[in-house]
Amino acid sequence: MSARAADPRQAVERLLATDISEITPFRGALFAVTTADGRRIVAKRAPGPGAHAAEAAGLRWLAEPGDVPLPAVYAHDEQWLLIERVDPGAPTAEAARAFGAGLAGLHLRGAAAFGSPPPGGPAEAWIGLTGMRNIEEPDWPTFYARHRVAPYVRAARDSGAFGVEQAALFDRVCDNLDALTGPAEPPARLHGDAWSGNVHWSDGAHGRVWLLDPAAHGGHRETDLAMLRLFGAPMLEHILDAYEQAASDAGAPLADGWTDRVGLHQLFPLLVHTVLFGGGYAGQALAAARSALALR
């Protein structure tokens, strides 16, 4: 990467053809930018090839129907993504319920297939700091086993996080997915990484819950709901209650027993965390696998 491409000020000025009045690093590879024409922007450095093409496509796809607010995409290239900056605010029950209802509507917009990337997005995508493949499959169990569980179990086994017998536990989950997943559903328009850190509460003129940093694809709507539970999103009961009501009102209630399947849907993010960070995440992933097998 050239020095010019690595410099956030030069990158923003090049991509937007405007001057910068202020730029401040605020977390990791993120920079808060104010342009001379008054736009307030977050500049993100890419974790790897194709990451920003995938995120930009996901932001646009999820934002298109207007069910849930997402930051506008201003520009991107291989090194940088420039998106709208939204000031944080305090969680409220009203915003939580609006978000829950909006998320239900967003999921029901659907997707072309299980594993389909957002329109214009690459198959080789990202979740956080690691790669993720969006490959279309005929049903969710096939997609989840091949592209969300097995690759990360292999990586964790190769790194020593899992032994042979532990890895075999995940194989048993994949072999039994048809019996563990509940009634078949059509593919949902999924955020894909809806943990609490990507649920952004705002106030003031916005006063809503925004979704950030998507790993968007065609998936199972219970996956986003399980992700919301993973690290405890604020006002979660308000979110889920409004979600269930809106889904039922739309004629697509959540299937019976969906709360029992939370561990199954948390397998993927827990495996990703095991690969990236190791530590206690391996034990949590194994516990989630055991909880999934107990559904039989």
% helix / strand / coil in the chain, to the nearest 5? 45, 15, 35
User: Contact, 82 vs 74, CB < 8 A?
Assistant: yes
Residue 66 CB neighbour total at 10 angstroms: 10
Please report, to the nearest 10 degrees, the dihedral formed by the alpha carbons of residues 206, 121, 194, 258 taken in order: 120
User: Contact, 196 vs 233, CB < 8 A?
Assistant: yes
Q: What is the largest CA-CA distance in the chain?
A: 60
User: Contact, 288 vs 172, CB < 8 A?
Assistant: no
User: Contact, 242 vs 100, CB < 8 A?
Assistant: yes
Strand order in the sheet with 20-27: 20-27, 30-35, 40-45, 80-84, 73-76
Token output for 288 = 């989630």
- Helices 221-230 and 236-249 pack at an angle, to 10 degrees, of 170
Q: Which residues lie closer than 8 Å to 103 by C-beta, 6 or more apart?
A: 67, 68, 224, 239, 243
Token output for 101 = 């209802």
Question: Could you give the residue numbers annotated as active site?
Answer: 193
Residue 24 CB neighbour total at 10 angstroms: 10
Estimate to the nearest angstrom the gap between the alpha carbon of 296 and the chain centroid. Answer: 28
